[in-house]
Amino acid sequence: MAKSELRIDPDQYRVRPDSKVDLSDLPSKTTDGFEGTKDDAVELLGTMNLRIAELQELLYAEAEHKVLIVLQGMDTSGKDGTIKHVFRTINPAGVQVASFKAPNEIELAHDFLWRIHQHTPRSGRMVIFNRSHYEDVLVVRVHDLVPEEVWRRRYEHIAAFEKTLADEGTVILKLFLHISKDEQKERLQARLDDASKRWKFQVGDIAERARWDDYQEAYEDALSATSTEAAPWYVVPADRKWYRNLIVSQLLIDTLEGLDMSFPEPAEDLDHVVLD
106 within some domain:
yes
What is the rounded average pLDDT of the residues 95-121? 95
End-to-end CA distance of the chain: 51
At residue 200, the pLDDT reads 85
Look at residue 152 in the predicted model and tell me its pLDDT. Answer: 97
- Residue 46 in 3-state DSSP? helix
Residue 199: pLDDT band by 50, 70, 90 thresholds? confident
Q: Residue 1 pLDDT > 50, yes or no?
A: no
DSSP state of 120: S
Q: Give a yes or no: residue 15 inside a domain.
A: no
pLDDT in tens, 26-46: 999 999 999 899 999 999 999
Question: Of all residues in the chain, what percent carry a pLDDT higher than 90?
Answer: 84
Q: What is the CATH number of the domain that holds 153?
A: 3.40.50.300
Cα distance between residue 210 and residue 206, in whole Å: 6
- Mean pLDDT computed over 233-243: 97
What are the pLDDT digits (tens) for 185-195? 999 999 999 88
User: What's the confidence (pLDDT) of residue 198?
Assistant: 87
Q: For residues 212 and 219, give the distance between their C-alpha atoms in angstroms, rounded to a whole number.
A: 11
Residue of 145, 176, 132 lying closest to 28 (CA atoms) = 176
Cβ contacts of 185 within 8 Å, gap of 6 or more:
209
Residue 210 has pLDDT above 70, yes or no: yes
Residue 8 lies in a domain: no
From CA 253, how far away is CA 51, in angstroms rounded?
Answer: 7
Q: Which domain holds residue 189?
A: 30-257
Mean pLDDT of 211-233: 97
Taking the mean position of all CA atoms in its chain, how far away is CA 52?
15
> For position 5, what pLDDT does the model report?
82
Q: How many angstroms separate the CA atoms of 13 and 175, rounded?
A: 10
Residue 166 lies in a domain: yes
Count of domains in the chain? 1
- Please tell me the predicted confidence (pLDDT) of residue 269: 72
Over range 192-218, report the average pLDDT: 91
For residue range 121-132, what is the model confidence (pLDDT) as tens digits? 999 999 999 999
Alpha carbon distance 38, 241 (integer Å): 10
Q: Percent of the chain scored above 70 by pLDDT?
A: 99
How does the average pLDDT of the chain come out, rounded? 94
Q: Is the pTM of this model over 0.75?
A: yes
> How far from chain centre, in Å, is Cα 64?
21
Report the pLDDT averaged over residues 73-78: 96
Q: Is residue 159 part of a domain?
A: yes
